[in-house]
Amino acid sequence: MKKFILTGVLAISSLFASAQTIADARNVGIGQTVTVKGVAGNGSELGNIRYLQDGTAAIPAFGSNLSSVQRGDSITATGVLFDFSGLLEISPTSSFVNHGAVGAPTPQLVPLASINEALEAQLVRVDNVTFVQTGNFATGNSTVQITDGTTTLDVRINGSTVIDGTAIPTGPLTIIGLVGQFNANYQLVPRDLNDIFPYVAPAREINVKMGGLTVLNNGTYVIGTTAATTITIENTGSQTLTISGTTLSGTNASDFNTTYTTGTVSALGNQTFTLNFAPTGTGSRTATLSLANNDSDENPYVITLSAVGTDNLATEPTSNPTGLTFPLIKAYTLGGQYNAGVNAEKYVVLWKTGSAVTGVPTDGSTYKRGDVIGDAKVAYIGSGMSFTPRHVIANQNLHFAVYAFNGPDGFENYKTTSPATGNVTTQGQQIGNYYAGINSNATSFLSDLSALINPHNFISYFNYKTTMMNQFEIRDTTAGQSFVVCSYSGERKVFNDPFDWTATGYSREHTYSHSWMPTFPADNPELKEYNDQHNLYPTNLQNANTPRSNLPMDIIVGTPVFSYLDCAVGYNSSNQMCFTPRAENRGNAARAIFYMATCYNGQSGNNWQIPTNQSQAILKAWHYADLPDNYEIARNEFIYSLQNNRNPYVDSIDFVCHVNFSNMTYDACQVGLQEKLESNFSIFPVPANNKVYAQINGLNITSYQVVDAQGRVIAESNAIDVPVLELTANQFKSGMYILAVGTAFGTVQQSFIIE
């Protein structure tokens, strides 16, 4: 009935020095590659997942290549960190080495109330619990509950075990299982019928509470500045528990005292005493409390005490981290890493766009991911030495500063001088030779394009949360909360992690409507066109997805019949009911529809022309007016990494000109991108005597140059990103000038006059 990890497993963690500890790996950012060593807590009974545990923590590894790994095997595994509905995994596991059997980990004995993130993926044991349900476990996968009379916890029964379909045991039970998580709920995952058996009360079983909370053996309790803390020793055994000695040791043991030394605790009884704290100095104050006792497997019971001195702050780190680098740089994600600070426990990573971070954390302040510190936001906070910020998009110049700190919440002491700093620019489009052999002037262009982007990887509709949401769409806001943007309305929905469709009232919207598909219904079984992630966007279910239904997209004439923020339902100029998304989504929506029509056209003989009530003219107009921005470029790159295919209409503005989407035929269009840039470029007023404005409809200006009639450069900048360029006319003499502006899709120029 141990409440600690078997020491034999601790020894295993030192065998392979090249790997990270699992605790370190769990602090690395999502999307980064880690290598860990540990012992498998399960074998094939749970499918292709293996829960690996070392002396520091545990983590599941997922991959079909792990099928030969048995319970108790010691392995070194390499793979990418992945969030699967709240469960942190190494998925996929790209490689592993099996070092042979060393014996399965011994489960920790824990109360139900202590099962949380700190125990995720570890093998644990709970005693004296009962199932809430009766009868038989369902066949296949199911979730039931257990209770100890105070706390209730989910138990996940996997159809791959022999537990499903059997009778649910009654009466007090002991259950062994791996700690899983699904959304906000932690779970116990038993491996086979041997993990569930009748509870037999031990002779003596010690449990210690401080301040009313259970502190596991070898755990840490934060005293802070509390002068007196109540400690309760519980005995859940059937015989008297004897405490034969109470000792305080460690660096600052003299700051703590208690009059309790020895005593007895009757069966199912408890005994209470007080721990006093009176600091004799400043900074961090630590000690170890040991309770010698006659519990056969938890003697002594050891608790680390963490407190602070008379200045109410922990000890400041000696130095900040160094060597900030960025080993992972994509259009949709990046990963940073740094060398540890000296005498530092934790780190806070700040980031901002465009210029160096000047924000500095304040001592005694507790920050969470997303909080604002000066001119920057918190990208990461924790004990790890690597990080992955959330919602990275393309072509961004991002600046970072990393500060070290010590101390528990409310007592933090930050090293505020000489942080580790660095900056990086995220990638843009990474097209490469993807379209090699595609000729938009060839009559076979449409069929060639369809063959290029289909077939592609199949990703289930139900995995959209673990791919697009958790790894791309979800963004940070203050106080550690998150938000997601409704693509149609622009609503910013704030929620507490992990993301859940039902709790947020959101859904995965098919931009090319499901009912438009020639294969409708395409969801049972799922077809690729139903779950294609190029076509799916997060939307508010009741106020955006449902009102849109399968309506065509168009401009509403007159008063809408329904509106929510920046989207609406109403009638178009032909008196047809239609849906208008927010301006920022119109080009995105058009390109998603064009993609679907192209990707699946001709599959099984089906023609994927858009419905007759959906105007291709308005979609093409939206396509040119709302050109792909950095968000959409990043999204296209991320989906390419998942599905192994791209949306051609994000990559090439001109491709849509060559397709008639009303009948899916080739169109020998001769209008190029330069002509479109020129037709959408305007300078006003002309002539000007105060301000000069320039814009390209739907496209940001990233640079400009003003040249006078003699060809001299009068003004220029290569470091802007604005929808409207504003120049002060009084910086120029009267006369004619040429203004050339740069964009992500080329350069265009036009003359203007200053009076």
pLDDT value for 698: 66
Give the pLDDT confidence score for residue 416 in this predicted structure. 98
Confirm if 482 and 503 have CB atoms less than 8 A apart: no
Run of H or E including 651: helix 648-651
* Helix (H) / strand (E) containing 588: helix 583-600
pLDDT of residue 18 exceeding 70, the answer is no
Question: What pLDDT shows up at residue 531?
Answer: 97
More confident residue, 198 or 687: 198
- Spell out the domains of the chain, with CATH numbers in brackets: 7-163 (2.40.50.200), 206-308 (2.60.40.10), 322-380+392-407+414-425 (2.60.40), 445-666 (no CATH), 673-754 (2.60.40.1930)
35 φ, ψ to 5°? -130, 125
Burial 224-247 (b: 16+ CB within 10 A, else e): beeeebebbbbbbbeeebebeebe
Cut 0.95: pTM above it: no
Percent of the chain with pLDDT over 70: 96
Mean pLDDT (the chain, rounded)? 92
Tell me: the pLDDT tens digits for 227-262? 999 999 999 999 999 999 999 999 999 999 998 999
| Phi and psi, residue 33, nearest 5° | -90, 135
Residue 2 has pLDDT above 60, yes or no: no
What would the two tokens of residue 210 be? 């401080």
Number of CB atoms found within 10 A of residue 375's CB: 13
Q: Classify strands 301-308 and 219-224 as parallel, antiparallel or unpaired.
A: parallel
Q: Are 411 and 364 in contact (CB under 8 A)?
A: yes
Question: Please, what's the b/e burial string for 257-287 (b: 16 or more CB within 10 A of its CB; e: otherwise)?
Answer: eeeeeeeebeeeeebebebebebeeebbbbb
Q: Which amino acid is at 308?
A: V
pLDDT at 99 over 60: yes
Give the pLDDT mean for 362-373: 97
Condensed to tens digits (0 to 9), the pLDDT of residues 175-185 reads 999 999 988 88
Q: What is the DSSP string of 125-139?
A: EEEEEEES--SBPPS
Q: Check: CB of residue 395 under 8 Å from CB of residue 407.
A: no
Question: What's the pLDDT band for 675 if we cut at 50, 70, 90?
Answer: low
CA 485, 486, 491, 493 torsion: positive or negative?
negative
pLDDT digits (tens, 9 = 90+) for 123-170: 999 999 999 999 999 999 999 999 999 999 999 999 999 999 999 999
- Answer whether 691's CB lies under 8 Å from 707's CB: no
Q: How many whole angstroms separate alpha carbon 230 and alpha carbon 12? A: 37
Q: What is the mean pLDDT of residues 347-370?
A: 97
CA distance 410 to 312: 9
Helix, strand, coil % (nearest 5) of the chain?
20, 40, 45
- pLDDT at position 639: 98
pLDDT at 232: 97
- Mark 599-609 as b/e (b = at least 16 C-beta within 10 Å): bbbbbeeeebb
**pLDDT mean over 714-737:** 85
Q: Cα–Cα distance between 548 and 567 in angstroms, integer?
A: 9
Q: What is the mean pLDDT of residues 72-83?
A: 91
- Say yes or no to pLDDT of 672 above 60: no
pLDDT of 306 > 80? The answer is: yes
When mean pLDDT is compared across 273-277, 722-726, 746-750, the lowest value belongs to 746-750
Token pair of 730 as six digits: 């009084």
Encoded tokens for 486: 């409704």
Residue 466 pLDDT: 85
Confidence of residue 19 (pLDDT cuts 50, 70, 90): low
Question: At how many degrees (to 10) do helices 583-600 and 445-453 cross?
Answer: 90
Residue 1: what pLDDT? 36
- In DSSP notation, 150-200 reads S-EEEEEE-TTSS-TTSBPP-SSEEEEEEEEEETTEEEEE--SGGGEEE--
Model pLDDT for residues 417-453, shown as the tens digit of each residue: 999 999 999 999 999 999 999 999 999 999 999 999 9
pLDDT greater than 80 at residue 29? no
Check whether 557 has a pLDDT greater than 70: yes
| pLDDT value of residue 697 | 76
Distance CA 659, CA 668 (A): 8
Q: Residue 33's pLDDT band (boundaries 50, 70, 90)?
A: confident
Q: What is the 3-state secondary structure (H, E, C) of 569-587?
A: EEECCCCCEEEECCHHHHH
